[in-house]
Structure formats: C-alpha cells, structure tokens
Amino acid sequence: MAVAKNWKAGLVFAFFLSAVGIVYFGYFYCGSNCALKGNSSPSLRSNYDAYFAGRFLQNKFSGNELDKDYDLDLDEDVIVFLHIQKTGGSTFGKHLVENMEVDPPCNCYKMVKKHCDCLTKNKHVWLFSRYSTGWKCGLHADWTELKTCVDNWFQTTRGVKKRRYHYITLLRDPVSRFLSEWMHVRRGATWKKATLKCNGREATLEEVPFCYADEDWRGVTLEQFIKCPHNLAFNRQSRMMANLSKVNCYNTSGLTDVERDRRILESAKQNLVDLAFFGLVEFQTYTQFLFEHTLNINFINDFVQHNLTHSSGYNVSAEELRRIAALNQVDIELYQFAKDLFLQRVKQAYLDEELPVPEDLMHLTSVQAIEVEGGQGGHEGPPGSVEGDAMSDSPEHIELDETDTRDALAQQVAGHIFQHSGLPAKAPYPKLEARLGEQGFSDHGDKFSKGDSFNTVGERDPHYREKLKKSRKARAQDQSFDAERFQRHQQFRKRQRALHTQQEYS
C-alpha cells in the first residue's frame, strides 16, 4: 500500500514538475547570479515546495563565493551589522561587543544601557551596530539605508579617511521569524521610527500605512496580524536585504507583485552572497565557526544553542503555518538559498581548516540538499533532463504527501529541520499538533534567548578549539602567512582571556 501511495505521489509530483518546471526551471535552479541572466518567467515555487519537505535545492557557487577570508586591520576595516528584526540579532550584537577577541576590547558602560565604545588604540571605530554606534542610519536600517548612509556617517563624525566596510547579518527560518515578530508586536513593539529611506527620501504613509490606529498594536491576534496587507513583517528579510532602488522603493504602482518579488529576491540573493559574512540563527555553532573562519577573529566564549522550552507559547495550527509560509514565500526562497550557501561555506571552512567535517553537517548537505545535475548550470541544460535527474536520484525525498508536508513544516518551525537527527528522509516525524502542543512556540522579548526554539545542532567536536588552533599554527608556519601578525593575535588572545577571567571574578 505504502509503496503504491508513494509511487502515485511521486508521479503526481513529477507531473507537477514537468508542467511548471519547463516554464520556470531556469529561474528556480539558478545559482547566485544566473537569475540575472535568465529571462524566463518568475515563480517562487520549486525551492518553496522543497521547504515543505524539509529540503532545499543545491546551487553551484564559485570558489570566491564559498571561501571568503578577510584579514582585518581594525584601524581601516569596519564591521557593519545589518540587524533584521527577530533574527537573533540582539544576542549576536552582544557577542560582537562583549565576546570578541579584540585588543582593546569594546568598553561597555554599565550606566548607559546598551552602549559600548569599540575603538582601536588609535581611536578608530571598527564596529557599526546598535550596541556600539547606535542606530545611526535609522532603527533597524536595511541594506538600502546602510549602503547610502554608513560611509557618510563615518566621514562626517569620525574623520575623513578611507575605510573598508564588511557587512554581516543573520537570517532565520521565515515562519519562525514571522511568528516571533507577531509576538513581539503583540507585546507592544512597533519599530515605527524605522525611516525606510530609499532613493533619498523616507517612505510616505501612503506608501506604507500603519496597520494599527492607536499607539501600537498591543494584543493583536495572529489573524489580524496576517490580515494587514501593509504589514512589513511579510518577507521582511528579503526586503531588508535587497537594493530597493531596483523596485522603485516602496512605490508599488509601477510593477506587478510578481515582478517586484522577483527583483527583490534576486537582489537579496546577490547582496547576501556579497556580504562578508552571514549566519543562520538555527545554527549558532556553525555561525560562530564560520564567522571566526571568515573574519579571522575569534570569540572568547562559545555561542550557545538554545533548546525549545515549554514555556508561555501559542499553539499554531497547521493551517496557520501554511498561510504564514504562503505569505512569506519570497523569504522562504531566500532562506532556502541562504541555507544552502551557508552549509556549503561551513563545509568548505572545515576542509580549509583541515578539520574533519562533522557528521551532522555531512548529513545536512547530503540528505537535505537536493542535488541538481549541473547545479546552476541546470540553467543551461534542457530543463527536462535536469529534473529527471533530480527525480531519479532521490524520488522518495521529493514526493510530498499531506503528512510529510505538515510534519516537515512543524520541523521547520521548531528549528529542527532534520538536524543532527540521523533520521532517514522518511522518518515518522512527530505530528504537528503533538509537537507544537507539547512544546508551544514561545518567544521572550527582543532577546534571543531561551524560549526561542532551537536545538543543539552542529554540536562541535569538543576538541574543535585545539584543532583549530593547531591548524592556524600550521598556517602560521607557512611561508605565505604573516607570522608576526599571528603572534600578535596569539598575544591578544592570551591577554583577552586573562582580562575576561579577571572581570568575571571581580
């Protein structure tokens, strides 16, 4: 019976793919930049469908896109943190000011809450973020705002000189993020001071009306939250990552929704690839690892991966989850792409550091990723054959039936996307209702802390640090490496640790 059912579902799916895929294929299976070349009609469906199956399509990235490596000189380099609401940015922002091995460390004021001076010995500001400079380019400034503002701000307030800016950000599973934003708004958050600047002016109230008439939207129900068409929570991550000049900013009258979404997604993907670094909230440990590998600055204490808690939550129905996903399709496309790029980068980083690739990472990149023959090149090949390969490689992974879809979605929301599970692709996942009923979906204020649902994924080899140091040491002995700089770095590390320990006990 089961076999027959699977076979049927597979056939239905294959039919769906060939019907829709031929038209849209070039678009979905594109890598970071081939969407720019493609002129096929846009659609956001295929990687979106994979999302419901707990999978994602694999892209082909170039060596440069996969292996970024910066050797920062904090007298000239500036890290710019693009903080998207409800993506764990507060916790990460604190890591940046309190937990980085830099000399001197940021000087944080106990009295002035949330403020630290992050200066080099020569008094250069090396971090642009909420806790260091504050919201100097607007509250939760997006890519478009930061790109036109950051250098201006530095030149006018910190002295005229050449600086190199390294943009970083975090992304999060879009359904979880959306729910988290709703809960935050329900508690009274508005972000109405966000300037939404683009093409030299702020968005007008006609362009982006408020969803609520009073001071705020306290107590809003999920239904009301979903129903407001101007709600900026929808596809927030893509919009905040895109160059909005490419869609005439917040004026939506000139483009169809489909075209606008397509351009936003395309731009957001490209900008994401071009950032110095991005992390995923669901993978704290890998986020830390990749940051350290890419920017060659370590954190003093390891990031913590929080587990789901059973506290004050809201039981989201399967139907609600489905609607939320549908309304955040662009973000799901972006997140799917980001997840693939992120995991490929982490894997590459392990190889570069000559560390064994952890099993769960192998699992994620092999079982979850849907390999497309030729990858990005699938764009060039005849669409039918590429789909055929994807199907015949792993038909049982792609087919979708009701149960799979629902449970996989629950998995996504729990931030538990087949992670380190060692589960076969068709494991009997706990039922959505049971899962969410039992664990609830909770969120604790602006802080990304216990309650926001994440699991211990990517738990690192306990000897990771030793191995990492060893491999860095090996690099130091390499002729091409600046040994003197490495020595200095080691000394900083020692001093910082001593300082940190001292602070802890004083």
Choice between 207 and 373, CB closer to ligand NAG: 207
* Of 276, 292, 331, 3, the residue nearest 165 (C-alpha): 276
- Residues 425, 365 contacting (CB under 8 angstroms): no
Minimum distance, C-beta of residue 485 to ligand NAG, in the bound complex (Å): 31
As measured in angstroms, the least distance from the Cβ of 483 to ligand NAG is 37
State which residue, 62 or 311, has the beta carbon closest to ligand NAG.
Answer: 311
- Give the binding range for ligand NAG (CB under 6 A) out of 10-18, 154-162, 187-195, 298-306: 298-306
Buried b (16+ CB within 10 A) or exposed e, 474-490: eebeeeeeeeeebeebe
Scanning 294-302, 311-319, 477-485, 487-495 for contacts with ligand NAG by CB under 6 A, the matching segment is: 311-319
- Whichever of 40 and 248 has its CB closer to ligand NAG, that residue is 248
Rounded Cα distance between 262 and 39, Å, is: 11
Q: Which residues have a Cβ under 8 Å from the Cβ of 410 and sit 6 or more positions away? A: 318, 321, 429, 430, 431, 432, 435, 436
With binding defined as CB under 6 A, does residue 315 bind ligand NAG? yes
Shorter beta-carbon distance to ligand NAG: residue 151 or 371 = 151
If one asks whether residue 306 binds ligand NAG (CB under 6 A), the answer comes out as: yes
Number of residues that bind ligand NAG (CB under 6 A): 18
Task: Clarify whether 140 is annotated catalytic.
Answer: yes
Q: Which residues pair with 450 in a beta bridge?
A: 452
Q: Is 451 helix (H, G, I), strand (E, B) or coil?
A: coil
For 461, residues 6+ apart whose C-beta sits below 8 A from its C-beta are 355, 356, 358, 467
CB of 306 to ligand NAG, least distance (A): 5
Segment 324 to 353, residues that bind ligand NAG, using CB under 6 A: none
When the beta carbons of 54 and 440 are compared against ligand NAG, the nearer one is 440
Least separation in angstroms between residue 266's CB and ligand NAG is 11
Compute the C-alpha angle 269/273/279, nearest 5°.
Answer: 100
Residues 130-149 that bind ligand NAG (CB under 6 A): 147
The window from 110-118, 227-235, 302-310, 350-358 that contacts ligand NAG (CB under 6 A) reads 302-310
Binding of residue 406 to ligand NAG (CB under 6 A)? no
- The minimum distance between CB 147 and ligand NAG, in angstroms, equals 4
According to CB under 6 A, which one of 16, 314, 481, 486 is a site residue for ligand NAG? 314
From 18, 190, 195, 456, residue interacting with ligand NAG (rule: CB under 6 A) = 456
Interface of this chain with ligand NAG, residues 91 to 120, rule: CB under 6 A: none
Buried b (16+ CB within 10 A) or exposed e, 38-61: bebebbbbbbbbbbbbbbbbbbbb
206-265 positions binding ligand NAG, by CB under 6 A:
243, 245-246, 248, 251, 253-254
**Interface with ligand NAG includes 307 (CB under 6 A)?**
yes
Give me 59's structure tokens: 């892209």
- What DSSP state is assigned to residue 452? B
Residue 200 touching ligand NAG (CB under 6 A): no
Nearer CB in complex with ligand NAG: 147/339? 147
Give the helix/strand (H/E) hosting 57: strand 56-57
Residue of closest CB approach to ligand NAG: 254
Q: Residue 171: which residues within 8 A CB-CB, separation 6 or more?
A: 84, 87, 237, 272, 278, 279, 280, 281, 334, 335, 338
**Beta strands 277-280 and 164-171: pairing type?**
parallel
- 155 φ, ψ (degrees, to nearest 5): -65, -40
Among 26, 440, 451, 458, binds ligand NAG (CB under 6 A): 440
CB 186 to ligand NAG: min, Å = 12
Taking the complex as a whole, the smallest distance from the CB of residue 464 to ligand NAG amounts, in Å, to 16
- The rounded distance, in Å, linking the Cα atoms of 450 and 455 is 11
The active-site residue out of 95, 124, 140, 306 is 140
Distances (CA, A) of 170 to 49, 83, 279, 287, 406: 23, 7, 5, 9, 26
Expressed in angstroms, the distance from the first to the final Cα of the chain is 68
- What are φ and ψ of residue 277, in 5° steps? -160, 145
Let me know: does 227 contact 121? Beta carbons within 8 Å: no
Name every residue whose Cβ is closer than 8 Å to that of residue 470 and which is 6 or more positions away in sequence: none
Closest approach of ligand NAG to the CB of residue 470, in Å: 26
Comparing CB distances to ligand NAG, the nearer of 14 and 196 is 196
Nearer of residues 50 and 82 to ligand NAG, judged by Cβ: 82
Nearer CB in complex with ligand NAG: 386/436: 436
Alpha helices in 160-304 (DSSP H): 174-186, 222-227, 236-241, 257-274, 284-295
Write down the least CB distance from residue 412 to ligand NAG, Å: 19
Bridge partners (DSSP) listed for residue 170: 279
Q: Active-site residue numbers?
A: 140
Tell me which residues touch ligand NAG (CB under 6 A): 147, 243, 245-246, 248, 251, 253-254, 304-307, 313-315, 437, 440, 456
